[in-house]
Structure 1
Amino acid sequence: MSFTELNSEIDHAARALLARGIRKGDVVGLWVTNRIEFTIALYAILRIGAIAAPMNTRYREHDVAYALKLAECKLLFVVERSGPVGYVEILKAVLPRFDGKRFERVDAFPHLTDIVVMSDNSDWGSLSWDRFLADAERVSPAALEKAVADVRIDDIALIVFTSGTTGNPKGVMHDHTLLRSICERHDHWPLKEGSVVLNFLPMFHLFGMSEMVFGCMHTGARQVVMDAWDAEEAIQLIESERVTGLFGFETHYADILRVQAQSKADLSSLRFGGLPAGMENSNAVAKQVQAELCPTVSGWGMSEAGCYVCVSTLNDTEEQRCTTSGRPLSGLGLKIVEPGSGKEQPPGVEGEILWHGYTTMRGYFRDPEATAATIRDGWLCTGDRGFLRPDGFLQFLGRYKEMLKVGGENVSPAALETELLALVPAIEQVAVVGVPHPRLAEVPCAYIVLKPGTTCTIEDVKTRCKGKIASFKIPHYLVTVDALPMTASGKVQRVLLRDRAKQDLGVDV
């Protein structure tokens, strides 16, 4: 599809949204895997001033129900199926008056009025993507122009779902100014019209959305889209499509290197990659990628601060690109402060990373208390550890918060603990900690106290969680204990559990 054709399709979908009653400020959910309809729907939502709320396609019943309620979605785009996962079937279990063909509003989701099913099978009646697009004929191009003219740069454009250490996911709000940082960093990189970029990152994720869905539109690069990650397919596409650029986490690059060692494919077309490096578990992979694939740039960001707001460029040294998280873009800034006192730290001294600038979120949706606790005097308190080097580059060290990072996905221990208590009847108490994993960086380990007279295995937990919560949240390890280590104030001593995991599981934490 050409850019001209894509622009026409976006206008068509924007008129269809207006026909379905979507107006400026309405929230539209996107529970859709990587496909062209995601891009069309996303841009159509933004074009009329509505708010896009992309949802993790690894969400299951509990997750998607919470997200729909939290964001107050008025319309939901959902993909019928991707591989073995039937999203419509999951949604039927969440919405009692949705049978896959018809939808009636329910009290539990008072804002949701419409569902559109994206499918390779057109037999979805009034809920189908084709029927949705047909409704565009009821809205004139002039009416669309009027709606577009009413959109302002400081209007809320996105609600990005994240998880906090308090347990429940939050909706991070960004306005249209987020595009400025995306365009500026891409102007520092060699991708341009004629470049070919392999898109395997999930489009719902801020990383994939920023660098692919938005970034490639700015540069004019052609996207080769993968529905799901598969290293062998990725290598085949790099060779056959003569891919010149790609973005991914260290796990993706490690997979490519592993498969390429056997396949010996021609990957000589690669010229550029984005790889958020800087921590010890990614440095070795980053260095190997420079030698065997292509030069890469690093970066740092988070949902609340914007993606890749600290970056490196190909003009920086290999050491800076492989072992740091880059420098802030123009107009953006950070400082390192001592936790507790807030005293600013000099270069080389670690502390909490505080962020400031136009990419900072507008706040958490419908959560002013959490917003006030996170943004103080204009500075975003990230909960991340790091220090500034004398050369101005950020060295990211990890998180003060207890959030787990499973293959690039955030997992809240508190939220997972609540879900395990609800899903596994045998569990009396539970505490989740992260343990190292050679491919995913870290994975959940659940320490449990059983109810009297019950038993529970890791297979029991996996069986009860499958299809209910996102797969990346399901614990990899289960350890039964008589009691959880607690502080005098009644809080679980997670540090002790992480240390104990070294002995219990035989892993180096």
Structure 2
Amino acid sequence: MSNLTIPSFLCIHQGATGFPKGVMHSHNIQRTLVDAASRMGMTSRDVILMYLPLFHCFGLYEGPIMSVVSGARMVLMSSFDPATVLDLIETERATVLNGFDTHFFDITSHPNIHTTDKSSLRVALLAAGMASSESVAMRTQKDLCPTITAWGMTEVGVGATRSYLDSSVDDRCLASGHPLPGYEFKIIEPSTGEIQSFGDLGELCVRGYSLMQGYYKKEQETNEVIDQDGWLHTGDVAVMREDFRMRFLGRYKDMLKVGGENVDPMEVEAYILSHPAVNKAQIIGISDNRLSEVPCACIVLETGHSLELDELDQFCRGQMASFKIPRKLILMDDFPMTSSGKVQKFRLRELADEYLE
């Protein structure tokens, strides 16, 4: 390949705005995979057990492309099933796993976890950092195998951070890794652009050769997230330590991430508003031990109407993906609003937490 900057592939990504975008990446992405493979100690003796969908960048990068750059063998599953995962770990002598909190929660919760021969497992990649992922990460260390942590997003490519194999348990379970070669990081105050000091929260910005080339045929949207100096403004809340260990803490934007899948609140709200009993609807995320967060419907009813969670579930089922259906229902007299007439989602989340305690 004489020119690594020419377009390599287009990844369709729903993104934080809720509208699908085509994310363009160049062949430079291979360089990042080589660096990631090196940090993980990948060799041709490894066996990657892959159950993530290959249309998802996580599955594509850490499965077939990682296999190509490292020479590792890949065992590809048609879908995720924890019992089958445990069976294949033993029969295929798998050495490497990848997944979100949900996958490792299900694997370590399965009754066969303590009877399966897991001695072949060398490492699992489990993105950590948020408080909701700590218990799963710790349990995975104890009952399955050592993990490493990482952070990435479709626009960044592969993952821009990764911890080391000899990182401490705290670094692997309570953080999001160190930058890979070729990436620059900074944490800023989003309202001013001022660079934050080590240990202070702010918006994570990333720059490097493996960033996306842009959103396909969406120049304006590209310019909104990549500034003139080449920094990608991620919309993620993060903190950086003096040794450049980064910790991802959540998102500034309202997009929910349920078991690793993006959920657009506006899509769910729009459908719920078609229910005859619903006057107003807002979808927020609430913490969940297995899926990290799940949708919660905050609803203002039409006068004289009632609504139960089971009824709402039946109304949504078959009309949207199951992970988008609200798991909790809170009925309210009205929503907290700003002076300009916008719903104060942060206050809505506070009220929901109080209600669900």
Establish whether TM, by shorter chain, passes 0.5: yes
Is 1:464 matched with 2:312? Answer: no
Is 1:493 matched with 2:339? Answer: no
TM-score of the pair, normalised by structure 1: 0.66
**Other-structure match for 2:42:** 191
Q: Partner of 2:158: helix, strand, or coil? A: strand
Q: Partner of 2:257: helix, strand, or coil? A: strand
Following superposition, the deviation at residue 461 of structure 1 comes to: 2.8
Q: Partner of 1:428: helix, strand, or coil? A: strand
Amino acid at match of 1:420: I
Amino acid at match of 1:414: M
Q: How does 1:109-124 map to 2 (within 5 A)?
A: none
Instruction: Give the Cα separation in 2 of the matches to 1:171 and 1:419.
Output: 25
**Other-structure match for 2:271:** 419
**Other-structure match for 1:445:** 296
**Other-structure match for 1:201:** 52
Following superposition, the deviation at residue 380 of structure 1 comes to: 0.7
Is 1:243 matched with 2:94? Answer: yes
TM-superposition CA deviations, 1:306-353 (whole Å, max 9, x none): 232111121333332222211111111110111211111121111110
Instruction: Give the Cα separation in 2 of the matches to 1:467 and 1:410.
Output: 18
Instruction: Give the Cα separation in 2 of the matches to 1:310 and 1:151.
Output: 25
Q: Indicate conservation of the 8 Å contact 1:485/1:492, yes or no.
A: yes
**Other-structure match for 1:280:** 131
Q: Alpha carbons of 1:474 and 1:306: their partners in 2 closer, same or farther (altered >3 Å)?
A: same
**Percent identity of equivalent pairs:** 42
Instruction: Give the Cα separation in 2 of the matches to 1:192 and 1:178.
Output: 19
More relative contact order in 1 or in 2 (CA 8 Å, sep 6+)? 2
TM-superposition CA deviations, 1:269-325 (whole Å, max 9, x none): 111111111222222332332333222211111111123211112133333222221
Is 1:355 matched with 2:203? Answer: no
Q: Alpha carbons of 1:292 and 1:316: their partners in 2 closer, same or farther (altered >3 Å)?
A: same
Q: Partner of 1:201: helix, strand, or coil? A: coil
Q: Partner of 1:306: helix, strand, or coil? A: coil
Q: Alpha carbons of 1:174 and 1:425: their partners in 2 closer, same or farther (altered >3 Å)?
A: farther
Q: Indicate conservation of the 8 Å contact 1:347/1:387, yes or no.
A: yes
TM-superposition CA deviations, 1:121-148 (whole Å, max 9, x none): xxxxxxxxxxxxxxxxxxxxxxxxxxxx
Q: Partner of 1:315: helix, strand, or coil? A: coil
Q: Alpha carbons of 1:262 and 1:190: their partners in 2 closer, same or farther (altered >3 Å)?
A: closer
Instruction: Give the Cα separation in 2 of the matches to 1:185 and 1:152.
Output: 18
Q: Indicate conservation of the 8 Å contact 1:310/1:325, yes or no.
A: yes
TM-score of the pair, normalised by structure 2: 0.92
Q: Partner of 1:486: helix, strand, or coil? A: coil
**Other-structure match for 2:261:** 409
Is 1:173 matched with 2:24? Answer: yes
Following superposition, the deviation at residue 260 of structure 1 comes to: 5.0
Following superposition, the deviation at residue 153 of structure 1 comes to: 4.1
Candidates 152, 159, 164, aligned match of 2:16: 164
Amino acid at match of 1:308: G
**Other-structure match for 1:383:** 235
TM-superposition CA deviations, 1:364-411 (whole Å, max 9, x none): 223222221111121111111111101111021111112211111122
Amino acid at match of 1:418: A
Candidates 169, 176, 179, aligned match of 1:325: 176
Amino acid at match of 1:310: T
Following superposition, the deviation at residue 441 of structure 1 comes to: 0.9
**Other-structure match for 1:76:** none
Amino acid at match of 1:363: G
Q: Indicate conservation of the 8 Å contact 2:187/2:203, yes or no.
A: yes
Residue segments in structure 1 that go unaligned for 5+ positions in a row: 1-148
Q: Alpha carbons of 1:175 and 1:456: their partners in 2 closer, same or farther (altered >3 Å)?
A: farther
Is 1:268 matched with 2:116? Answer: no
Instruction: Give the Cα separation in 1 of the matches to 2:113 and 2:204.
Output: 41
Amino acid at match of 2:182: G
Q: Indicate conservation of the 8 Å contact 1:235/1:260, yes or no.
A: no
Q: Alpha carbons of 1:480 and 1:288: their partners in 2 closer, same or farther (altered >3 Å)?
A: closer
Amino acid at match of 1:397: L
**Other-structure match for 1:435:** 286
Following superposition, the deviation at residue 472 of structure 1 comes to: 1.2
Is 1:399 matched with 2:276? Answer: no
Following superposition, the deviation at residue 160 of structure 1 comes to: 2.5
Amino acid at match of 2:197: P
Q: Indicate conservation of the 8 Å contact 2:132/2:287, yes or no.
A: no
Following superposition, the deviation at residue 152 of structure 1 comes to: 6.7
Q: How does 1:254-265 map to 2 (within 5 A)?
A: 254-259=105-110, 263-265=114-116
Q: Alpha carbons of 1:150 and 1:357: their partners in 2 closer, same or farther (altered >3 Å)?
A: closer
Larger radius of gyration: 1
Instruction: Give the Cα separation in 2 of the matches to 1:413 and 1:492.
Output: 13
Following superposition, the deviation at residue 231 of structure 1 comes to: 1.2
Q: Partner of 2:40: helix, strand, or coil? A: coil
**Other-structure match for 1:373:** 224
Following superposition, the deviation at residue 475 of structure 1 comes to: 1.0
Q: Indicate conservation of the 8 Å contact 2:337/2:344, yes or no.
A: yes
Q: Which has the higher helix share?
A: 1
**Other-structure match for 1:144:** none
Is 1:231 matched with 2:82? Answer: yes
Amino acid at match of 1:403: M
Q: Indicate conservation of the 8 Å contact 2:187/2:204, yes or no.
A: yes
TM-superposition CA deviations, 1:82-137 (whole Å, max 9, x none): xxxxxxxxxxxxxxxxxxxxxxxxxxxxxxxxxxxxxxxxxxxxxxxxxxxxxxxx
